[in-house]
Amino acid sequence: MAIVNKIASRTVLIIVLALSSYWFLHPQGLIFQVFNKDLSFLLSPILVASIIFYLSSLISVIFTGRIINIITSSLKGFSTAFMFFLLISNPPTSEALRPIGFWLLICALIVIFHHVVSSVAQLYHEPLPKVFATSLSLFAGGLALSQVTPLIPISLPWNLGSSLDKIVLLGFALASIASLFGVFKDFSNPYLRYLGEKLGSNLFSVLELAIFVLLYFFNIRSYLIDMYPVYIPLPLIEWGVVCMISWSLYRKLKHETKVSLSEPLKLGDWTRLQQKVGYHMDQELIDVSKLTEEFVEDGAKEGILVYITTVLLMNNVEQEAIEKVVSKLVDYQDTPYPRIALSWGLKGVEEENKERRTQLLQAVLEGAQSEILALRVISHRVHPNEWKYESGMEA
């Protein structure tokens, strides 16, 4: 019923928006009558974007899942991009600037493509598709932007207008090549891993540096040579800059490699220390109900698992018996959620998992209690007086 209400409310909202837009913006609408301004060119972009946005909201209401989130976010981005495409590609935009709308739409589609591929790759824990999608998107984006720059009627210094499209294309191409180093992020070789982490994670800085270097060699360098042919020894300065950058890069690479080789040892020691400190529990300080709720509601089994194991150890239960009791809890896995599902279907899977967790926890606790009681019965038979004394202390 809640889903029907959401669909109805969104449908009413889109109808009201469409009628209001038409009432205000059509050629003889309210704005024209009051202000004598014709804003009818806004009507089509607003209606088209609203319809696409409405469809994405319906999909998010009816279906659920990570893939649905990817689809709806892509549709919302496309609705915005298509709205600006319609605005720029039609009057009152001048004829000279209208092609910009098409190329900007292509850029938006490239961004959406990268978003979809990266999100799906993250969903399936596959990093390589994201790396190649980033490289392809950078090159295609640079190609599209290089078609836009000649259309912009702006006067630029250093005769930059004649070479700006080449600079943009080559800059994005270099950034595209640098992004491929991201495949080395998980390599065992520390040098390749460092290059993969730095180049693959700082593509915007790589793009800025590439465009600046290309701008220097295409335009600024010739300007400096013409203006100051004697006073500035450019080749000497350039080689000095290259040597300083190479030396700095070598030192940084050497330092980061040394750190990366020693970090796993420090991390391992710190992790073991955390385990020793974090798992040293006092039974009186444990909030069992909280641990139980975390497992039943969220599936977090670490806390209740450590608690049950600690209690069994404190009661001198043998290792084999402990493994037998907690093995079901250790091996337990929730029923996986479907990639695409109706929202009520997702709730059904969630309720089923909660029921399974409750039954499993009850069985494990009963097994732990049985082991403790069995051990005490044996202890009572062997040392009856000592058991009575302990029972009196517990009472």
Neighbours of 361 (CB within 10 A): 20
Query: Is residue 340 over pLDDT 50?
Result: yes
Residue 4, pLDDT above cutoff 50: yes
Of 111, 114, 86, nearest in space to 100 by CA: 86
Amino acid symbol at 253: L
Asked if pLDDT for residue 109 goes beyond 90, the answer is: yes
Q: Convert the pLDDT of each residue in 22-31 to its tens digit.
A: 888 888 778 8
- Find which of 67-81, 160-174, 376-390 is predicted with most confidence, using mean pLDDT: 67-81
pLDDT at 59 over 70: yes
d(CA 200, CA 221): 30
State yes or no: pLDDT of 209 exceeds 60.
Answer: yes
More confident residue, 226 or 100: 100
Model pTM score: 0.60
5 and 62 in contact (C-beta within 8 Å)? Answer: no
Query: What angle, 0 to 180 degrees and rounded to 10, lies between the N-to-C axes of helices 127-148 and 98-123?
Result: 170
Select, from the ranges 66-75, 160-169, 216-225, 235-244, the one with the highest average predicted confidence (pLDDT): 66-75
Show the tokens assigned to 316. Answer: 């001198």
Determine the pLDDT at residue 390. 42
CA–CA distance, 202 with 15 (Å, rounded to integer): 45
Higher pLDDT: 25 or 117? It is 117
35 neighbors 23 (Cβ within 8 angstroms): no
- What does pLDDT average to over the chain? 77
> What are 161-173's pLDDT values in tens digits?
677 888 889 999 9
Whether pLDDT at 274 is above 60:
no
Which pLDDT does position 384 carry in this prediction?
A: 53
Phi, psi (deg, nearest 5) at residue 296: -70, -40
pLDDT of 29 reads: 77
Quick check: 277 pLDDT over 70? no
Domain layout of the chain by residue ranges: 1-93, 283-394
CA–centroid distance for 225 within its chain:
47
pLDDT of residue 203: 84
- Compute the C-alpha angle 137/89/91, nearest 5°: 160
Please identify which residue in the block is written with the tokens 């984006």: 141
Q: Are 171 and 211 in contact (CB under 8 A)?
A: yes
Q: Please, are residues 138 and 179 in contact by the beta-carbon 8 Å criterion?
A: yes
For residue 35, CA distances in Å to 41, 172, 204 come to 16, 46, 45
The answer on pLDDT for 286 being more than 60 is: no
- Region 90-105 average pLDDT: 83
In the predicted structure, residue 219 carries a pLDDT above the cut 80: no
Higher pLDDT, residue 389 or 234: 234
Is residue 261's pLDDT more than 70?
no
**What backbone phi and psi angles, to 5 degrees, belong to 377?**
-65, -45
